[in-house]
Amino acid sequence: MTELAAALAEVLAGRLAGWAGLPPGTPVAALLTALAATEVDAAGSTERGNSRYDLHRVRRAEPPRRVDAWSSIGTAVLVEYADPPGVDPAVPAAELGQPDLTLTGHRVAAGGQVHELVYAGRGLTLSLVQSEDSWLRAVHLQLYVPGPVSHWLTRIGAGSRPHSATRPAPHS
């Protein structure tokens, strides 16, 4: 197992503390292998923030069963998925510390308000639903090359429009 595959296996199982970011320059083929993809649907080129990326919809045998991998000119840029398994919503503050940025209202989910906890320097953004007095559940996770908050805001993040924290209908 490669170092990237081992690091991703930890995060995909809900253990976020050791994540140090997607290594810069990772070939998308290496990322897809590290994700243990059983099937990949190349969804084509699409805009995200201020850039165009290739979207790869990944199916896996283990949870999370569906993951989106984004690349630019063959280089991995972002991994993201909904309903991250094994993530205890009370853990991030204790394990990850203060986020570099917290955004509210860019994602929507039933049961409460969604907060995006951006750890740009770690290459990780965790979206949590909060009710009036407690964190309820994790609804989305992004993994990317670490960088400044400005990079997350312009190239990785949710963009300027609110959107659902749940996945769209299954892709075929």
| Rounded-to-integer distance, Cα 41 and Cα 6, Å | 23
E-strand stretches of 2-150: 37-48, 51-60, 66-72, 75-82, 101-109, 112-119, 124-130, 135-144
Q: Is the pLDDT of residue 78 over 90?
A: yes
- Report if residue 121 sits inside a domain: yes
- Report if residue 83 sits inside a domain: yes
Tens of pLDDT, residue by residue over 110-156, are 566 788 899 999 999 998 887 777 667 788 999 999 999 998 888 88
Q: Is the pLDDT of residue 39 over 60?
A: yes
Q: Which tokens in the block code for residue 129?
A: 């639903």
- Report if residue 73 sits inside a domain: yes
Number of domains in the chain: 1
- Report if residue 105 sits inside a domain: yes
- Report if residue 171 sits inside a domain: no
Predicted local confidence at residue 90, as pLDDT: 77
| Rounded-to-integer distance, Cα 77 and Cα 135, Å | 29
Q: Which structural domain, as residue segments, surrounds residue 95?
A: 3-164
- Report if residue 67 sits inside a domain: yes
